[in-house]
Amino acid sequence: MKIKTEFPHEIQTIKHIWITMPDGCRLAARIWLPKDAQENPVPAILEYIPYRKNDGTALRDSLYHPYFAGHGYAAIRVDMRGSGDSEGVMLDEYLQQELDDAVSVITWLTEQTWCNASVGMMGKSWGGFNSLQVAALQPPALKAIITVCSTDDRYADDVHYKGGCVLATDMLGWSTTMLAWNARPPDPEVLGESWRERWLERLEQTPLLVKEWLSHPHRDAYWKHGSICEDFSNVQCAVYAVGGWADPYSNAILRMLSGLSCPRKALIGPWSHEYPQRALPGPQIGFVQECLRWWDYWLKPDSPERKAASGIMDEPMLQVWMPESVAPKTHHEFRPGRWIAEPLWPPENPLRNESQLWYLNPDSLSQTPETELPVLCPNSQTVGANAGVWFPMGEAGDLPGDQRTDDAKSLCFTSAPLTEGMEILGNPEVTVTLSVDMPKALIAARLCDVAPDGTSLLVSWGLLNLTHRNGHENPEALIPGEKFTAKVQLNACAHSLKSGHRWRLSLTSAYFPHAWPSPESTVLSIFTGRKTFLMLPFRSARPEDVLLPEFLVPECSQPLATEELRTANRKRTLEHEVIEDSFTLTNKVDNGRYRFVDDGLETEDLSCDTLSLIEDNPLSLHICCERTAGIGRGDWQTRVEASGTMSATSVNFEVTSKLEVFEEEQRIFFRTWDFQVSRNGV
């Protein structure tokens, strides 16, 4: 990225300021604004997240927020209640208290002499979620948001469930991560003598979130809260939705374009879970400049900047990266392809975006159905070992590898080589007629690009807990042997299949490590023919695609100076114990330890997830997640160690967790959790 040090406006930084909520709780904030904002009030841009402004996101924040301030905005980074230096306790994700606090922060911004009472909100992941949720509350000053890597549906697309299946690694892993992060202390240099009292208050009251998540296995009121898809009309301010094909939240972007009626735009690159100016796989883009165009248009009415940015809403509603066929690798620095655009979504001209039906015949994937025949789906418990991580950050080992090892354990339907290639954009969907031999079962579907040399590239995948075949709110037990039809929606994707390559659809009754396995090994009988088919969202190439303007070169403001104290490293291994026929997947990440030169604050994060499973025994799955989080300055050093395990019987999930907190090697807090939660249809 190109580092910018000179801007149209001189920048003033307020390292810490308190924002008092109506109940007296104080939230900690950092502000960057033009030095002359008192004389010439400016719009405000709010980022509101729990990831600690002083250490957790301090380096990242320094790349973006000063940039906005240098271009005539007040940029505000607020620690949510119960996180970082803010007071209070965080009891769960996206509670009404969190959203009400955000509205109060927006009100506070409008009352500042340096703010012109026009506010935007932005964020990635959690900050993208609550930007949407706050927009649905319609605070009058909120004119526009930029939501990155987020979702409109908390049940369908987050770290808890997918297709009604428990996300095996990520539900426990995310709970353990938040347990460790929330247990970090506030900064004594900010809170003064009260820091220890606030810290112990937080430690005593912080819950283990996985218990609540497991207790809501269906799409009930718990998940509907904060899901703007329940009533898209509540969102009336302008929305810019941004994401990446390698990120698990890309489904929401196409849904929001279809469901929202407010002014809206969307951008999807090849990226993982990161802001587009530094996300992998590349190409990266000048995202802060793109943000400025958006803010100038919506937050600076009747200004020269607004006039310069006026074309942004005349551009296509949706712009995406169309990836090309490549050899499968677990890491890509750059993903070959090209930018394409759709004026509207859903497309206005269906003839240029027709769905194509490909029938699952006994020996092929074809556009002509054959006679219906039952075929058995292999019941391997370890299929999916090459699926990559559900939540990729663009690091080595994140992406799916060659799918041939998983294809060998799956029921595969493969097309003939396509002489002219084919492009798709949207959500592939499988309609399958089948029967099962157990009252609980799941089905996993993978769409792959098979090259002439046989390598198999994962394009998209989907899951469905078959007891949720008629909806996620009221699951229905399966009747063994009864034939039924189910639809499995695969993740939204774009892909350009090369000439000579083939499509392959693979079906399985398990998907390790993403889906928690069914209580018993299940046999799926798939009935091929006219009632079992794959819908591919075909897109014809547009001549106007080549006329799209290039994005600007990535830029950022001067990053905070840091000193590396320990180098980051990562290992991801899969071991096979042959005699027991067991598999152990280990993902170990050390993000290193570094010190901020400015204030001497030191920080570190380490994690290790271990999953073990015996091939013929779905009840053997055992997950262990470990997290270490350190924060300190000089002689004051603290360390948090959080861990959790999760397994299951045929009836219950069984979870244990432990939290230990140390100050200067003396343990000051210890707590354990040990509980069971009913599987309830999973």
DSSP-assigned states of every residue in 528-553: -STT-EEEEEB----GGGGGPPPPPP
Overall average pLDDT of the 644-661 stretch: 98
| Size of the chain, expressed as the number of residues it contains | 682
Residues 334 and 359 in one domain: no
Residue 309, pLDDT score? 81
Which of 288, 322, 342 represents a domain boundary (last residue)? 342
Residues 58 and 81 in one domain: yes
- C-alpha span between 569 and 232 (Å, rounded): 42
CB of 260 closer than 8 Å to CB of 225: no
pLDDT above 70: residue 352: no
Residues 406 and 477 in one domain: yes
Q: Vertex 32, ends 101 and 39: CA angle to 5°? A: 100
Q: How confident is the model at residue 297 (pLDDT cuts 50, 70, 90)?
A: very high
Residue 568 lies in a domain: yes
Residue 545, pLDDT score? 86
Which of 342, 376, 396 represents a domain boundary (last residue)? 342
The position carrying tokens 């930018």 is 339
Identify the H or E element spanning 206.
none
Residue 350, pLDDT score? 58
Residue 177 lies in a domain: no
Overall average pLDDT of the 316-338 stretch: 97
Residues 581 and 608 in one domain: yes
Residue 544, pLDDT score? 80
Pairing of strands 355-361, 337-342: unpaired
Q: In the chain, how many domains are there?
A: 3
Residues 303 and 409 in one domain: no
Residue 16 domain boundaries: 10-164+217-342
Count other C-beta atoms under 10 Å from residue 435's C-beta: 18
- Per-position DSSP letters for 431-481, written without gaps between them: EEEEEESSSS-EEEEEEEEE-TT--EEEEEEEEEEGGGTT-SSS-----TT
Residues 534 and 577 in one domain: no
- C-alpha span between 650 and 658 (Å, rounded): 25
Pairing of strands 555-557, 442-450: unpaired
Overall average pLDDT of the 441-448 stretch: 98
Burial profile 625-643: b = 16 or more Cβ within 10 angstroms, e = fewer: bbbbbbbbbeebebbbbbb
Q: What is the pLDDT of residues 510-528, one digit of tens each?
A: 999 999 999 999 999 999 9
Residue 169, pLDDT score? 87
Q: How confident is the model at residue 307 (pLDDT cuts 50, 70, 90)?
A: confident
Residue 656 lies in a domain: yes
pTM over 0.75: yes
Residue 551 lies in a domain: no
Which of 285, 315, 342 represents a domain boundary (last residue)? 342
Residues 494 and 418 in one domain: yes
Q: How confident is the model at residue 353 (pLDDT cuts 50, 70, 90)?
A: low
Residue 392 lies in a domain: yes
Residue 541, pLDDT score? 85
Count other C-beta atoms under 10 Å from residue 498's C-beta: 15
Residues 600 and 464 in one domain: no
Overall average pLDDT of the 194-210 stretch: 95
Residue of 330, 456, 463, 492 lying closest to 400 (CA atoms): 330
Overall average pLDDT of the 396-404 stretch: 95
SS3 682: coil
Residue 621, pLDDT score? 98
Q: What is the pLDDT of residues 233-274, one digit of tens each?
A: 999 999 999 999 999 999 999 999 999 999 999 999 999 999
Residues 575 and 635 in one domain: yes
Residues 337 and 367 in one domain: no
Residues 282 and 405 in one domain: no
pLDDT above 90: residue 106: yes
Q: What is the pLDDT of residues 211-224, one digit of tens each?
A: 999 999 999 999 99
Residue 513, preceding bond cis, omega within 30 degrees?
Answer: yes
Residue 437, pLDDT score? 96
Residue 533 lies in a domain: yes
Identify the H or E element spanning 340.
strand 337-342
Residue 304, pLDDT score? 86
Residue of 100, 166, 42, 192 lying closest to 618 (CA atoms): 166
Overall average pLDDT of the 348-362 stretch: 79
Residues 505 and 414 in one domain: yes
Overall average pLDDT of the 604-617 stretch: 97
Residue 94 lies in a domain: yes
Q: What is the pLDDT of residues 140-168, one digit of tens each?
A: 999 999 999 999 999 999 999 999 999 99
Q: How confident is the model at residue 36 (pLDDT cuts 50, 70, 90)?
A: very high
Domain at 392, CATH number: 2.60.120.260
Average confidence score pLDDT of the chain: 96
Residue 182 lies in a domain: no
Residue 279, pLDDT score? 97
pLDDT above 90: residue 302: no
Overall average pLDDT of the 566-583 stretch: 96
- C-alpha span between 368 and 415 (Å, rounded): 11
Percentage of the chain beyond pLDDT 90 is 94
